């Protein structure tokens, strides 16, 4: 097979991409953080110009611990407390993703963190959805087709998850396509929020759970077996249930002597999607570096792997950059990137006919011209 377009950043940006795991409050433009802080009189930003602020977020997030990584969100959440600010951040998010060639995205945030200036949960979600719609329209005018849907997240250390699950179901016809829990993982197991997941299941509504990022297999086991999650946020520690001979090169193309445990087998057999976020995992210390990231092992073993940004601001990244890092490290070609994209589209929380339409009309034709 010859490659019409080289697998470089320009080509990757043109390729249609699907993003399932991206936090709204982790993806602000640094300039927007500064402007909003000025508008609302937030005095505690750690830097006063765009470049230093961008650098601050990246290095502060490079902490090697999820808990410290999460502290950086205090500054973004602080400037996202009004309807106008939420709408702007959501609009810019859709525009930025579209400019990067993302054609479908599920963007998540925790409404309960945006009530400090008097908005209620419904007003918060309404503002974000308005922003996504405006962003989609602006992108379309710029010739970029994107569909952005919302996941509402409950914070796992708090006690509002049932309320947030109800919020998800209340807004299901208006752009919220699912539910999630996030925040510090150690000490806050998924089963703590069982009533919320049961509510979602009782309403035939899908959800994902951050699990297997800062904590290992027990968290994944609870998420899939007790809570019945549809996808795993990260799920990268499923690698702890996969045995490879000592000295195996994580960048190999085949892993013939592999043994899977019960949890790993279940995740693969059931095609449970893994929302993998390579750069974020390095920053929080879930993995040492991209070279030793289990992404390749999981991809070659045919787990349902998807590529995600997690927090574009904190990781100074984009979907294209995550693709490029993986392709450089593990030698992927266009057909691999297409497979990860189709995996993600199949795993989306929109309805089957909408997923199929994007696969057949946007993703496959988009890669066909690159692969030719």
> Which parts of 252-311 interact with ligand NOS (CB under 6 A)?
280, 310-311
CB of 287 to ligand NOS, least distance (A): 13
Token representation of residue 269: 């057999």
* Smallest distance from Zn ion to CB 161, Å: 16
Question: Is position 213 annotated as part of the catalytic site?
Answer: yes
User: Is position 25 an interface residue for Zn ion (rule: CB under 5 A)?
Assistant: no
Alpha-carbon distance of 353 to 359, in angstroms, equals: 10
User: What CA dihedral angle connects 307, 312, 318 and 319, to 10 degrees?
Assistant: 20
CA 263, 268, 272, 276 dihedral sign is positive
* Residues 36 and 96 sit within 8 Å (Cβ to Cβ): no
H/E run at residue 20: strand 17-23
Task: Report the alpha-carbon angle 330-336-339, nearest 5.
Answer: 140
The answer on whether 183 is annotated among ligand-binding residues is: yes
In the complex with ligand NOS, the residue whose CB is nearer, 87 or 310, is 310
Of 300-359, binders to Zn ion (CB under 5 A) are 310
Binds ligand NOS (CB under 6 A): choice among 210, 237, 312, 355? 210
Helices 364-371 and 334-346, packing angle to 10 deg: 170
Using CB under 6 A, pick the residue from 92, 95, 100, 213 that binds ligand NOS: 213
Interaction with ligand NOS in 119-158: which residues (CB under 6 A)? 153
The residue from 18, 22, 25, 135 that contacts ligand NOS (CB under 6 A) is 25
Structure tokens given for 124: 């918060």
Q: Pick the closest to residue 45 from 91, 85, 81, 77 (CA basis).
A: 77
Which DSSP category does 310 fall into? B
Q: Is 203 annotated as a binding residue?
A: no
Q: Which of 104, 109, 330, 367 binds ligand NOS (CB under 6 A)?
A: 109
Look-up: residue for tokens 């992927």?
332
- The structure tokens listed for 298 are 């999981």
Find out whether 75 is annotated in a ligand binding site.
Answer: no
Nearest to 75 by CA among 319, 313, 318, 317: 313
Judge contact between 312 and 76, C-beta under 8 A.
no
Min separation Cβ 353 and ligand NOS, Å: 29
Stretch that binds ligand NOS, among 10-18, 29-37, 66-74, 144-152 (CB under 6 A): 66-74
Residue 108 touches which member of Zn ion, ligand NOS, none, C-beta under 5-8 Å by kind: ligand NOS
The active-site residue out of 213, 222, 275, 338 is 213
Nearest residue (CB) to ligand NOS, 224 versus 286 = 286
Please choose, out of 18-26, 56-64, 96-104, 198-206, the segment that lies near ligand NOS by the rule CB under 6 A: 18-26
Helix (H) or strand (E) holding 59: helix 50-61
Read off the DSSP letter of residue 68: H
**Chain residues in the site for ligand NOS (CB under 6 A):** 23, 25-26, 66, 70, 73, 77, 108-110, 113, 153, 182-183, 210, 213, 280, 310-311
**Chain residues in the site for Zn ion (CB under 5 A):** 310
Catalytic residue numbers?
213
Per the annotation, where are the binding residues for substrate?
23, 25, 183
Per the annotation, where are the binding residues for Zn(2+)?
21, 23, 210, 310
């Amino acid at each position: 097979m010859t490659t019409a377009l080289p697998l470089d950043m320009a080509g990757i940006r043109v390729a249609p991409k699907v993003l399932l795991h991206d936090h709204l409050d982790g993806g602000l433009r640094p300039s927007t953080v500064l402007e909003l802080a000025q508008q609302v009189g937030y005095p505690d930003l750690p830097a006063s110009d765009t470049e230093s602020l961008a650098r601050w977020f990246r290095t502060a997030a490079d902490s090697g611990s999820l808990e410290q990584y999460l502290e950086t969100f205090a500054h973004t959440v602080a400037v996202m407390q009004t309807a106008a600010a939420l709408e702007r951040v959501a609009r810019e998010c859709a525009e930025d993703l579209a400019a990067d060639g993302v054609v479908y995205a599920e963007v998540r945030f925790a409404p309960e963190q945006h009530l400090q200036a008097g908005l209620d949960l419904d007003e918060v979600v309404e503002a974000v959805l308005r922003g996504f719609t405006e962003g989609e329209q602006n992108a379309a005018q710029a010739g970029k087709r994107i569909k952005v849907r919302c996941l509402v997240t409950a914070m796992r250390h708090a006690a509002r998850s049932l309320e947030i699950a109800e919020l998800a179901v209340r807004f299901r016809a208006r752009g919220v396509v699912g539910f999630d829990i996030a925040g510090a993982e150690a000490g806050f197991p998924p089963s703590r929020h069982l009533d919320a997941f049961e509510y979602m299941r009782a309403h035939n509504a899908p959800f994902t759970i951050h699990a297997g990022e800062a904590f290992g297999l027990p968290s994944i086991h609870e998420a899939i077996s007790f809570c019945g999650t549809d996808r795993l946020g990260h799920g990268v520690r499923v690698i702890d249930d996969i045995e490879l001979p000592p000295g195996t090169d994580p960048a190999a193309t085949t892993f013939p002597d592999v043994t899977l445990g019960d949890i790993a087998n279940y995740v693969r057999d059931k095609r449970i999607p893994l929302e993998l976020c390579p750069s974020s995992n390095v920053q929080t210390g879930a993995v040492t570096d991209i070279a030793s990231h289990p992404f390749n092992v999981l991809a070659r073993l045919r787990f349902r792997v998807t590529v995600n940004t997690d927090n574009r601001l904190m990781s100074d990244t984009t979907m294209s950059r995550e693709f490029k890092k993986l392709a450089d490290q593990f030698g992927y070609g266009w057909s691999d990137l297409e497979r990860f994209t189709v995996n993600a589209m199949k795993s989306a929380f929109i309805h089957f006919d909408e997923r199929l339409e994007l696969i057949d009309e946007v993703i496959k034709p988009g890669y066909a011209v690159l692969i030719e």
